[in-house]
């Protein structure tokens, strides 16, 4: 499941939104949209997003938000005993639905690109009237036009500086992974319940948890869950040999 | 004078898209069978000639037939075409199949902010906006259909297939990413 | 495409009388039976609709049917009546401050397509249009300038403030569709 060579080839491409990137990854593998296919493209998705993060690209926050849901799907597939909350189940279900709907619109946009401008239907050319008229109304005074100009200037689109600040404020995946790794190494043994208590924001819990999953996958952690609703115990595998649940 | 001839006269004289509601008001006609029959008559009568009637939910327009597109192109001094791009086509696809639609809904479907794209489509006259309460709703324009070479959006390739596919999602939950 | 349809297309699209000789040259046709047959066909085909083919010795044109004369006259009068509205005032203000200006630039500043509004301002003699290369530029008519009592642009209220706002917007990179 390590990022393949092809993962890097798409990195240079610009994706405007997270759904666009995700559908690209799924379609590239000729997969249907379901939790299995989404789990299988998660690594590649995250590689792309961390790359976007490095370049401080706009909209990265939205990509990271979707990464959290993707990692949730992936963890469930790695760790079937994992109990998801109703809210999490819903967000996974939503993602699949939204992606399927988005896929339809993408197909439509393909036909639009093909048809656009290929069989143009033209309105008649406009020729201004020849008879000289002059019909000013109440809007044709300096004060009225000044007011209209004020309105126009107020409605000019604002430059998009704010979005950059928004990206900075969001937790980055790597930050979360790193802080978790050191914390786990220090404590040797921690539990997911404990982590959950320490993190105020639910989103951070997800990202934190998935970071653990990532470490687990790389073989640096041993994860034990006694039974379905029990706590998940996490410890660093000093020997660093891959162990799977 | 039959209604279809009168409608044709206004569209020909004005030489620009006309609001359905103001035409109906002008002729004192309701939006019913009589109106639809007149549009049908006009559409089929024009079929053998050089012009076509474009019908959207809100506007009518008279243009040259799509088969004449290349020929008219040779008469034009300036190039009009140009590419709409991936994001533009995607946004148009959503508005075509879901009009009238707010920006928030478009953003939700695309999973990304669409305000720049929407502004550009408005500037190009491919979509129009109408104020409803304190938000805007977006619709397609006759110009968009003219660019796609169809008189009605139902004539677009695979229209009903796509429409059915989208309808099956009409109960999609509203959670955002 | 039959010759009569092609002739109709040119006349409809150009919306002004066309020289017979240049049409014949365009289609590579002699002034003979084929040409006359095409005009006959066009004339009889149009009979059931709102438009008529006008044939003079040197020109062809498409007009509304004479029976519609009164109706068209009421249309013309009603379009001269109504005021230019808020959108019209905004467009007029932009032209006043930025003239000479192209439609594309007006559209870009307003964020919507202004072609219909510009036509309305032209019809009312508030602005004028001049061809420069492939595009048109718009100006305030001398009559309106006199009506407003404006002699120098720099004397317009808050002139430099508005210019700066628009200029800085113009240099903001906007995503293309």
First vs last Cα of chain B: how many Å apart?
57
Per-residue pLDDT at A75: 74
- Nearest C-alpha in A relative to C165: A153
Per-residue pLDDT at B124: 93
Is it the case that residue B66 has pLDDT exceeding 60? yes
C169 at interface of B, judged by CB pairs closer than 8 A: no
- Cα distance from B5 to chain C (closest Cα, Å)? 5
A196 confidence band (pLDDT: 50, 70, 90): low
Distance (Å, whole) CA A59 – CA A64: 9
Q: Helix, strand or coil for residue C161?
A: helix
DSSP bridge pairs for B101: B138
- Nearest C-alpha in B relative to A64: B177
A176 confidence band (pLDDT: 50, 70, 90): very low
CB contact under 8 A, A100 and B169: yes
**Residue of A226, A220, A227, A225 lying closest to A243 (CA atoms):** A220
Average pLDDT over residues B91-118: 95
User: Which of B162-176, C54-68, C130-144 has the least mean pLDDT?
Assistant: B162-176
DSSP bridge pairs for A235: A189, A222
User: Which of A55-64, A120-129, A212-221, C153-162 has the least mean pLDDT?
Assistant: A212-221
- Cα distance from B159 to chain C (closest Cα, Å)? 23
A236 confidence band (pLDDT: 50, 70, 90): low
User: Which of A148-157, A175-184, B108-117, B160-169 has the least mean pLDDT?
Assistant: A175-184
Per-residue pLDDT at A167: 43
Average pLDDT over residues B18-43: 96
Is it the case that residue C35 has pLDDT exceeding 80? yes
B76 confidence band (pLDDT: 50, 70, 90): confident
Per-residue pLDDT at A230: 58
| pLDDT tens digits along B123-157 | 999 999 999 888 999 999 999 999 999 999 999 99
B95 confidence band (pLDDT: 50, 70, 90): very high
First vs last Cα of chain A: how many Å apart?
16
Taking contacts as CB-CB distances below 8 angstroms, the residues of chain C near B87 are: 175, 177
Is it the case that residue B33 has pLDDT exceeding 90? yes
Average pLDDT over residues B24-41: 96
Instruction: Note the ipTM here.
Output: 0.91
Average pLDDT over residues B13-32: 95
Per-residue pLDDT at A168: 45
Considering only the beta carbons, identify the residue of C6, C50, C176 that sits closest to B9.
C50
Per-residue pLDDT at A158: 75
**Residue of C118, C115, C124 lying closest to C79 (CA atoms):** C124
Is it the case that residue A202 has pLDDT exceeding 60? no
């Amino acid at each position: 499941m390590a990022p393949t060579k092809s993962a890097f080839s798409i990195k240079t491409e610009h994706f405007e939104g997270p759904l666009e990137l995700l559908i690209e990854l799924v379609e590239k593998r000729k997969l249907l949209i379901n939790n299995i296919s989404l789990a299988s493209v998660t690594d590649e998705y995250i590689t792309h997003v961390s790359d976007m993060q490095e370049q401080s690209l706009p909209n990265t926050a939205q990509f990271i938000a979707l990464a959290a849901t993707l990692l949730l799907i992936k963890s469930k597939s790695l760790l079937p005993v994992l109990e998801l909350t109703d809210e999490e189940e819903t967000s996974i279900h939503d993602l699949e639905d939204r992606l399927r709907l988005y896929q339809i619109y993408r197909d439509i946009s393909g036909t639009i690109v093909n048809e656009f401008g290929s069989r143009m239907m033209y309105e008649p050319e406009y020729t201004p009237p020849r008879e000289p008229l002059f019909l000013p109304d109440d809007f044709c005074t300096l004060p009225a036009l000044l007011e209209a100009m004020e309105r126009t200037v107020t409605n000019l689109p604002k430059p998009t500086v704010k979005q950059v600040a928004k990206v900075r404020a969001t937790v980055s995946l790597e930050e979360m992974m790193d802080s978790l790794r050191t914390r786990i190494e220090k404590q040797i043994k921690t539990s997911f319940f404990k982590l959950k208590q320490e993190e105020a924001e639910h989103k951070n819990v997800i990202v934190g948890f998935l970071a653990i999953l990532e470490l687990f996958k790389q073989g640096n952690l041993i994860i034990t869950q006694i039974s379905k609703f029990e706590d998940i115990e996490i410890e660093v595998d000093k020997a660093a040999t891959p162990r799977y649940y | 004078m039959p209604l279809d001839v009168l409608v044709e006269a206004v569209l020909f004289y004005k030489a620009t898209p006309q609001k359905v509601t103001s035409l109906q008001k002008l002729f004192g006609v309701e939006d019913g069978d009589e109106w639809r029959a007149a549009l049908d008559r006009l559409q089929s009568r024009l079929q053998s000639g050089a012009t076509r009637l474009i019908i959207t939910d809100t506007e009518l327009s008279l243009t040259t037939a799509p088969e004449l597109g290349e020929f008219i192109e040779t008469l034009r001094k300036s190039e009009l075409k140009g590419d709409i791009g991936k994001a533009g086509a995607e946004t148009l696809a959503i508005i075509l199949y879901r009009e009238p639609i707010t920006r928030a809904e478009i953003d939700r479907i695309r999973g990304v902010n669409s305000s720049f794209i929407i502004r550009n489509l408005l500037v190009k006259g491919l979509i129009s906006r109408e104020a409803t309460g304190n938000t805007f709703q977006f619709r397609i324009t006759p110009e968009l259909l003219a660019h796609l070479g169809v008189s009605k959006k139902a004539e677009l390739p695979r229209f009903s297939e796509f429409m059915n596919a989208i309808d099956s999602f009409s109960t999609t939950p509203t959670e955002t990413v």
